[in-house]
Amino acid sequence: MDIRLSLVGEPHVPCATKEALVMISREALHNVVKHGAADRVDLVLEAKAGGLVLLITDDGRGFDPASPRPGHFGLQTMRERATAVGGTLGLISAVGHGTQIRVSVPGHVDKDG
């Protein structure tokens, strides 16, 4: 699997935000390995004037987000982590078309270091 990381800007945010984004990324990558059968994963972290955006996109098998997944709590945990730092988590996926997770965390971000 090819994993590509892109950082745009130098975000200076609270440790709790950094920790949440690391844990969300870790869970997302775990899900790709366990369920996704992807050849490529892109992680993009972008510091913007309004906050941070983390995009995790894979070219794997995807899934139907509307279908219940009993016993699977990864997405719920990722949402809770995003919410705990004032952010949101969005998900786009379809069977056969991969998955994209978008985490937006609003707030002041010092892009200049």
Whether 42 is covered by a domain: the verdict is yes
Whether 102 is covered by a domain: the verdict is no
In this predicted structure, what is the pLDDT of residue 13?
86
Whether 43 is covered by a domain: the verdict is yes
Length of the chain: 113
Place of tokens 């992807």: 38
Whether 103 is covered by a domain: the verdict is no
Whether 112 is covered by a domain: the verdict is no
Q: Look up the domain containing 50 and give its range.
A: 2-97
Q: Give every CB contact of residue 81 below 8 A, 6+ residues apart in sequence.
A: 20, 23, 24
31: burial class by Cβ within 10 Å (0-12, 13-18, 19+)? buried
- 36, β-bridge pairs: none
Among 54, 51, 52, 45, CA closest to 108? 51
Whether 65 is covered by a domain: the verdict is yes
In this predicted structure, what is the pLDDT of residue 76?
93
In this predicted structure, what is the pLDDT of residue 67?
86
Whether 32 is covered by a domain: the verdict is yes
Instruction: Please tell me the distance from the alpha carbon of residue 109 to that of residue 8, in angstroms, as a whole number.
Output: 12
Q: What is the pLDDT of residues 33-91, one digit of tens each?
A: 999 999 999 999 999 888 999 999 999 999 998 887 777 788 999 999 999 999 999 99
The whole-model pTM stands at 0.89
CATH of the domain at 93: 3.30.565.10
Whether 107 is covered by a domain: the verdict is no
> How many folded domains does the chain comprise?
1
